[in-house]
Amino acid sequence: AALSAWRGQLVDLGGVASLDDITMLDGVVDLTAAHPSGLAQLYAGRPTNLSSIVRERNALGEARQSLREVSARTDVLARQFGVAPVYLAIGVATWNETIPEDGEEDSLHLVDGVSPEADLTAQIPHVERIAAEHAARNALAAAGLTVPEVPSGPRVRTVNAPVLLRPVRLVSATADATLTLDPTIEVNPVLTRALRRYQCSTDIGDIARAALSSAGFTPRSALARIGALGRQYLPGFEIHERLVVGAFVHPGQALVEDFDAVLERSRTSALVAAIAGDEGA
């Protein structure tokens, strides 16, 4: 109970969960239709003017306005948390997850996924289970007993998660802002956890890092391999070639990610139990 309460406090601190729903984030610079030469310069790690990436006049005006919104958001977060990273997101993945009911674990469950704790009925083929439920209801009605209402079933949501994340430095002191990619890359932890929950053992971090080499940055191969894994393991998985800049990782969300990474160990920790007030710890 204490762990759930602590996590809830971190979630409240985290603000908009744009790591699992990119549509919730205000102020995103869409570079999907970037000019090839400007994009090549950006991928090479060199400072690149926004006007070199976005050449069409109207699109450039929109991109500049969006970049101002990103800068304003990061300024607010930096004042509040001391840090506010901006990322270039390469690729956006969508898949389906069920939303846990109140009282269930905070982590989301994948549609059609069977957790280790699932009861035996969850492993009965869907059609057979529905038939068994109808037979049981008919038997209760025939015996004159009260037939329980059919539960509405779990709510389902669609995740819209950026896939690859590269830190980007913005310099907007002039009218034409400059973007520079840091020489690092990571995979959205929301996608990593979803694949792991569905028994995928492949290290997609290795796949992402392979996209960075002395020859430059080649993300398409990494996206193709990650897309193949997603279609194999995650229900309703699709991957879309999008390129967007934004403050996707809220500093409060980063705390939640760190908390989730040690959650299982915390459940069995005597020290954590003592901090939570367990007198027997």
The structure tokens listed for 217 are 């940055």
> What pLDDT does 60 receive?
94
Nearest of 110, 16, 111, 31 to residue 67 by alpha carbon: 31
Q: Distance between CA 48 and CA 69 in Å, rounded?
A: 19
> What pLDDT does 123 receive?
34
For tokens 């800068």, the residue is: 71
Residues 64 and 55: beta-carbon distance below 8 Å:
no
> What pLDDT does 50 receive?
96
> What pLDDT does 14 receive?
54
Alpha helices in the chain (DSSP H): 2-14, 36-43, 50-53, 57-81, 126-142, 189-197, 204-209, 219-233, 251-261, 263-267, 270-275
pLDDT digits (tens, 9 = 90+) for 164-176: 999 999 987 667 8
> What pLDDT does 107 receive?
44
- CA distances to 87, 89, 158, 197, 211 from 186, in Å: 10, 10, 22, 19, 11
- What residue type is assigned to position 45 of the chain? G
Residues paired with 156 in a beta bridge: 98
- CA distances to 51, 89, 154, 179, 185 from 92, in Å: 24, 8, 25, 21, 15
Q: Which helix (H) or strand (E) holds 160?
A: strand 155-171
> What pLDDT does 101 receive?
58
Q: Distance between CA 255 and CA 19 in Å, rounded?
A: 13
> What pLDDT does 105 receive?
46
> What pLDDT does 235 receive?
92
> What pLDDT does 173 receive?
63
Q: Distance between CA 278 and CA 281 in Å, rounded?
A: 6
144: alpha, beta or left? (left if phi > 0; alpha if psi -120 to 50): left
100 — phi, psi (to 5°)? -65, 145
> What pLDDT does 179 receive?
96
> What pLDDT does 98 receive?
76
46 — phi, psi (to 5°)? -95, 145
Q: Distance between CA 144 and CA 150 in Å, rounded?
A: 17
Distance of alpha carbon 44 from its chain centroid, rounded?
26
Q: Distance between CA 41 and CA 175 in Å, rounded?
A: 19
Query: What global pTM score does this model have?
Result: 0.71
Nearest of 175, 254, 207, 196 to residue 90 by alpha carbon: 207
Beta strand 48-49 with 216-217 is: unpaired
pLDDT less than 70: residues of the chain: 1, 6-17, 26, 99-141, 145-154, 173-174, 250-259, 272, 279-281
